[in-house]
Structure 1
Amino acid sequence: GPVRIARHSETGSVRFLAADVGQALSSPSLAAPSASPEQVARAFLAEYGQIFGIRNQEGELSLMRSVAGGAASTFVRFQQRHAGVPVLGGELVAQVRAGGVATVSGEALPNLAVDTTPTITPEQARTRALAAIAHTYKLDAASLRVSAPALWIFNPALLGGPGPRINTLVWRLEVRNESLTEPVRELVLVDAQSGRIALHFNQIAHGKVRLVCDAQGKGDTDGDENTSCDEPGEFVRGEGQGATGVTDTDLAYDYAGLTYDYFQISFGRDSLDGKGMPLISLVRYCPSASDCPYGNAFWNGRQMTYGTGYASADDVVAHELSHGFTEFSSSLFYYYQSGAINESMSDVFGELVDLIDGAGNDSPAVRWQLGEDLPPSVGVIRDIRNPPLFDNPDRTGSSLYYGGPQDSGGVHSNSGVNNKALYLMVDGGTFNGQTVAGIGAEKAGQIYYLVNNALLVSASDYLDLADALPTACRTLIGVRGISAADCEQVVKAVVATEMNKTPVKGAVPAPVPACAAGKVPKDLFFDNMENAQSGNWVFSSLNNTVQEWYYGSAVPPPLGPIVYATSGKSILWGNDYGLLPDDPNALEAVPTDYAAAMANGVTIPADAFLHFQHAHDFEIELGDGTAYDGGVVEYSTDGGTTWQDAGALFTDNGYNTTVYGVDQSDNPLAGRNVFGDVSRGYYASKAALTQLVDKNVKFRFRIGTDALNPLDQAAYGWFIDDVRVYTCVDRPTYRVFMPTVAR
């Protein structure tokens, strides 16, 4: 039968492969008749692993777990490794059925060639992680605790967030706080060669054993959100004990029980981890006396913590506890699209529990509201049926879809896409050109459970979810009455919410061709940066501090050499200069200003253009996106004596931000429009040179930084490749003569 295949938009490798319903991608002959599901999966990946980016499955894949699901299927999940080091987000799931492989999904980094010997020691990584998170949250580093560092390989391409698409050896750590109004459970990646912070984001997600503790609305005196919930003697209500008469305590107990029962009865799951994990709840919590009442609830990896009144909503309790289910199943990162799906999965199960548990207010007017039973002072949190009521998108193409860095990439708002899909699947409706017949809460729950428990991996995005939902449904045909007709409705819900399309916001800019169709470039100047001895560029400091431009092939250790190019292997690279706190070679903190300028000018004819490929990672304030550093393109018509900003010349993908105020910043580019922030890999920019006709012109790339580049914001700089000055001419035609052959 037909095979469904989808490729990863950045790696080019296959990310989803599925046989037709009831069929297999491989015959049982690939493995021995008595082979285990893992052996069947490995036999398939030994044969076809290269299309997923795996050259040697035996050496590159380690078993994470096997999960039974659906009609006689087993889902085998593998972790990608390189030289024994795991790859962040590099995971594959093979569905094994009847001795063959039915589907393979997930993602991997192909053709890895990363030096796995770190320059930065584990202790240095700990120091830098602590310093970075202390700066981010304005905390004393002594109030933080950090996990043991472990080596991983990281490339932002798998997680879908911004950043240079470079395979990087990192130390992975988790930093937690001892005292903070908003708790911190920060995943931190420290570049194991340079010591820079490659990535950090907060992972706190705002037999039946239930344990409830009560902070009584008093301030947290020891700075630990586990206050009054550390020892058995501190529990005010345990499993099987009677009501206490304290509303928050009793509702937290009751609703935790309803959530446990839903997962146990519907899916046979014994608590969040499937192994009987106690459900610990701390109610009426306040971080400090001045923060009472505390307006939040969260899962911290160990327990639930509620501010006063937050345990009064059954869907909120189930929502937060479901973050624990996700942590023990798909392990979706709380970051960009995977984080939005993580958040939505909690909305999904929070609402499904709410719909069937008989508790709270489920009248038609509030049936799909999250938090309808919260105190009036808090109010409803989201609307699952109509996400835009709370400025959340209901499809990936919505103008409300958020593509920026705040809220870890919009995890709370962008959850609306899958929330809308849940509503359509359960109740049905007409939306975005699709008319969906509802399949009901029970069937939808079975599908979403299998998706989260078996099919999604830690870095899954909406494209992956768009494949996983129909796959789960087809796997479950015959289970709880699920039919092929139901799966058609699931597909319609996916199409209606456009999760099968890459979101426009936050995507890499569209390609910018050098010339229109039918035309080709005629170069006046071209450099692909492969020859570091070309003499095409002059590097200089403009304020007599540091000069930080290099050819990528000539970048000194530990940062280089840098192999990250759009053609060939080398580039022009400008460092975003910053001080690291334990760098013995660091200069006194000063603003810097340096440029890479063309050594020789080009006389500009009519209809000429400048075109180049670039990626950038400049220092910004993670909270509000304030740009501290950035780069500009300038030109000179007098041999380099004076320079003008080329910003007004750009026709495609010009400057994207502004360095913050002239009066507040010591950056030489303060107040100017620049290329700044962090791009999602390479993209092209193009400028029309009409106003420079008949002039001899030099161009230069210039970087300006302020005096301070805090460790949590230390950035990688500007990557530039394939610079050309050119005109466009008609594409040549070639006449082909075929010789006459006589016999």
Structure 2
Amino acid sequence: MSSRRTAAIAAALAASSLIAGGIGGAATASAQTDQLSTDGSGRVIAVEPTTPVAAPQGASTAGAAQSHTARLARQFGLPVGELVLSEVRQLPGGSIAKLQQRIGGVPVFGAQIVQDLDGSGALLAAVGKTSQRSEGGFPADSTAAKAKAGKAAVDAVAKKDSTAKALRADAAENYWYDASLGTDGTSATAVPAYFVPVHGADPEDKWTVVVRAETNQVLTVWGEARHATNRVVCDAKRKIVDLDTATLADIRCGTGQAFGVSRAEGQAAAATADVNKVYDYFGSAQSFYSTYTGYDLTANIGANYNDGRGKALRGTVRMCEISTGNDGLRHTQCPWANAFWDGEQMAFGEGVTTLDITGHELTHGVTQHVNGLKGGYAQAINEGMSDVFGKFIAIKANDPNATGANRWLLGVGSSIGQVRDMKNPANSGEGPGPDRVNGKYWVGPDGDEHINAGVVGKVDYLITDGDTFNGQTVRGLGENKSIALWWKVENLLRSSATFKDLGNALNTACTTNARTGVAGTTTADCTQVANAVKATQLLQNA
């Protein structure tokens, strides 16, 4: 079963009863021996039953997940709101089921509990975090309040990025927002908020601004652009795109779009090397996800522009650009030294077309659809997950830029050179990054997300290949077990995950993969994963 719900699952989800608020943190007697992990404030963030908790005989996956919900509500604590079963997804060895905390029918951003179930629906583990209290309410006149929030959001982005042009706010969405869900510190309070998308003239200028609903106070701002079978590749032919005024439509690839099709699925090679490389790289990424995770990349993240090409992995190559720099002057880049996932498709400058970079950007699309990591430390984990899978895609395709000394370097062979050294993050081409939480080069939750991504790359290197680091000796699990581990982690993380959540997810994923025999994972392997987690200090409070 794919991540898209079948009619039966959708019906089961729709019929799911709510687990009401007012449930405290005390566990039932049957759950008192479960292993619990907590954050810095004592909130439960992971539960591992001593033995799998059976589901009712013959229950569907959704029904099994629903049967565990009351137990988990007591263990994680649910003083306010309710838990609603929002998604189920089949994985090797079983499935995951996501519970979303809602208050008055409105979701609490990042407040999720993810159940890890075996093939019978038995509960193997659960990870997540819930908000413990709330205050305030949404204004009665939502139209006026959202208009004010939109103006506040645009003003906040203009203050954050003075080079952004033609800013506009799109329709706001209602959420409850608890800032502490994205940290490991003191529990805070969920408040009613509008999540306002803001776009600029440059297709890369995309932000989400969180505005408190009653007061119009801007609570936080984060960027959304990510710096990508049915394949469609277009050649911009070095056309200069004015990123001060361009929209997403100005870089779209397809018949009748901004850039015409140079090579589509099943067609012969084009005359332009970049077109053929990206076409091949899209195919390698599709094959990797299908073979090692069962995830259909094209079906889940492909774009359909209604041009007769259907849903496809799309990329525009050899783009050039002109834009206003921080000095206030207009600058042209041709070739343009960049590549990014814009939420719909890929865009590449000339020569910025290695397999691992392409896999990295496409994985941003996967993360967008699987767990929605965004804001604070979750931004850095998002970058790190793209590094992990981008590199695995290249390694499993026997890419020459992912062998020997280049095995853990991201971007070798591109026009911009290596951008990340996953084995030794301090040597990363984009600038030094940390190799452990709270270590040298570590930055706070509002720092450049590419910096702390170094920790994710380091723990991936240790788990896959092994090494002695920071007082821990790790025996590598090899590629296949590591890929299975990281795919489970991708599915366990919630949208505002912290690095401590990542450490817990790695340990939990290994334990449950060992229980269900995924990729031949053993309990001895999980000792090595735990050593890698300890070496990179992932369980420290950041």
TM-score bracket for this pair, using the shorter chain length: 0.7 to 0.9
2:364 corresponds, among 323, 346, 361, to 323
Tell me the residue number matched to 1:355: 395
Question: Are the equivalent residues in 2 in contact too, given 1:118–1:192 (CA < 8 A)?
Answer: no
Q: TM-score scaled to structure 1, two decimals?
A: 0.61
1:219 has 2:240 as partner: yes
Question: 1:7 and 2:38 equivalent?
Answer: yes
User: Which residue matches 1:178?
Assistant: 201
Show CA shifts across 1:669-717 (max 9, x none): xxxxxxxxxxxxxxxxxxxxxxxxxxxxxxxxxxxxxxxxxxxxxxxxx
Q: Which amino acid aligns with 1:131?
A: D
Match of 1:483 among 497, 522, 525: 522
Is the Cα–Cα contact under 8 Å of residues 113 and 127 in structure 2 kept in the other structure? Answer: yes
Asked whether the equivalents of residues 357 and 411 of structure 2 are also in contact (C-alpha less than 8 Å), the reply is: yes
Structure 1 counterpart of 2:270, one-letter code: T
206, 213, 217: which one aligns with 1:196: 217
- Distance across 2 between alignment mates of 1:34 and 1:160: 39
Per the alignment, residue 209 of structure 1 pairs with 230
**1:576-604, CA deviations, whole angstroms, 9 ceiling, x for partnerless residues?**
xxxxxxxxxxxxxxxxxxxxxxxxxxxxx
- Residues 1:309 and 2:340 are matched in the alignment: no
Corresponding residue number in structure 1 for 2:172:
149
1:312-343 alpha-carbon deviations (Å, 9 max, x no partner) = x111111111111111112111x332111111
Distance of 1:6 and 1:248 partners within structure 2: 48
Q: Which runs of 5+ in 1 are unaligned?
A: 504-743
Q: How does 1:391-430 map to 2 (within 5 A)?
A: 391-403=432-444, 405-407=446-448, 411-430=449-468
CA drift of 1:82 comes to: 0.5
- By how many angstroms is 1:491 displaced? 1.3
Q: Is the 8 A contact 1:125 1:192 kept in 2?
A: yes
Give the whole-Å Cα distance in 2 for the aligned partners of 1:164 and 1:6. Answer: 15
Q: Separation in 2 of the partners of 1:255 and 1:480?
A: 25
Question: 1-side partners of 2:340 and 2:285: how far apart?
Answer: 16
Partner of 1:49: 73
Distance 2:289 2:278 in 1: 17
Contact 1:54 1:110 in 2 (8 A): yes
Change beyond 3 A, Cα 1:15–1:303: same
Question: Which residue pairs with 1:557 in the alignment?
Answer: none
Shift in Å at residue 107 of structure 1? 0.8
Instruction: Indicate conservation of the 8 Å contact 1:8/1:107, yes or no.
Output: no
1:110-153 per-residue CA deviation (whole Å, 9 max, x = no partner) reads: 13343233565222222322333244333677x33433112111
Q: Aligned partners of 1:499 and 1:459: how far apart in 2?
A: 16
Where does residue 111 of structure 1 map in the other structure?
133
Offset at residue 33 of structure 1 (A)? 3.0
Identity level (%): 31
| Cα drift, residue 87 of structure 1 | 0.7
Which residue of 2 is the match for residue 451 of structure 1? Answer: 489
- Alpha-carbon separation, structure 1, partners of 2:251 and 2:117: 46
Matches within 5 A, 1:511-522: none
| Larger fraction in helix | 2
d(CA) in 2 for partners of 1:112 and 1:7?
21
Match of residue 597 from structure 1 = none
Within 2, Cα distance between the matches of 1:215 and 1:137?
28
Residue 80 of structure 1 aligns with which residue?
A: 101
**Counterpart Cα distance in 1 of 2:184 and 2:241:** 35
Distance 1:495 1:413, change over 3 A: same
In the alignment, structure 1 residue 342 sits paired with structure 2 residue 382: yes
Q: Is the 8 A contact 1:114 1:168 kept in 2?
A: yes
The structure with the larger Rg is 1
Q: Alpha-carbon deviation of 1:493?
A: 1.1
1:184 & 1:37 partners in 2: Cα distance?
40
Partner of 1:501: 540
> AA paired with 1:239?
E
Task: Give the Å deviation of 1:358.
Answer: 2.1
- Structure 2 gap segments, 5+ residues each: 1-30, 303-310, 323-330
Alignment of 1:254-653 (within 5 A): 254-271=280-297, 274=300, 277-288=311-322, 290-311=332-353, 313-333=354-374, 335-375=375-415, 378-390=416-428, 391-403=432-444, 405-407=446-448, 411-452=449-490, 454-477=491-514, 478-503=517-542
Aligned-residue Cα RMSD (Å) equals 2.4
Shift of 1:250: 1.3
Write out per-residue CA displacement over residues 594-631 of structure 1, whole angstroms, 9 at most, x where no aligned residue. xxxxxxxxxxxxxxxxxxxxxxxxxxxxxxxxxxxxxx
The answer for the alignment partner of 1:724 in structure 2 is none
Q: Following TM superposition, by how much is the alpha carbon of 1:267 offset from its aligned partner in structure 2, in angstroms?
A: 1.6
Out of 40, 63, 72, the position equivalent to 1:39 is: 63
* Distance change (3 Å), C-alpha of 1:419 and 1:304: same
Check conservation: 2:253, 2:316, Cα contact below 8 A: no
CA distance in 1, matches of 2:193, 2:346: 31
Distance in 2 (alpha carbons) for counterparts of 1:272 and 1:448: 20
Equivalent residues of 2:341, 2:364 under 8 A apart: yes
Question: CA–CA distance in 1 between the matches of 2:71 and 2:346?
Answer: 45
- On the 8 A contact 1:272/1:321 being kept in 2, the answer is no
Shift of residue 164 of structure 1? Answer: 11
Between the two proteins, the alignment pairs up a number of residues equal to 481
Q: Matches of 2:443 and 2:66 in 1, distance apart?
A: 39
Supply the AA of the counterpart residue of 2:77: G
Cα 1:14–1:165, aligned 2, differ >3 Å: closer, same or farther? Answer: closer
Contact 1:225–1:287 (CA under 8 A) maintained in structure 2: no
TM-score normalised per structure 2: 0.83
* Counterpart residue type for residue 38 of structure 2: R
Following superposition, the deviation at residue 162 of structure 1 comes to 10
Distance 1:253 1:270 in 2: 17
- The one of 132, 137, 158 aligned to 2:161: 137
- The one-letter amino acid of 2:235's match is D
Structure 1 distance, partners of 2:185, 2:140, is 24
**What is the rounded CA distance, in whole Å, between the counterparts of 2:320 and 2:472 in structure 1?**
46
Give the direction of change, closer, same or farther, for the CA distance of 1:86–1:362 in structure 2 (3 Å limit).
Answer: closer
Residues 274 and 191 (structure 1), Cα distance of their counterparts in 2 relative to 1, 3 Å cut: same
The yes-or-no answer on 1:16 pairing with 2:46 is: yes
Q: Give the Cα–Cα distance (whole angstroms) in 2 for the partners of residues 164 and 177 of structure 1.
A: 35
Q: Distance in 1 between matches of 2:191 and 2:320?
A: 40
SS in 2 for 1:236: strand
Give the Å deviation of 1:427.
1.1
Cα distance in 2 for residues equivalent to 1:179 and 1:49: 44
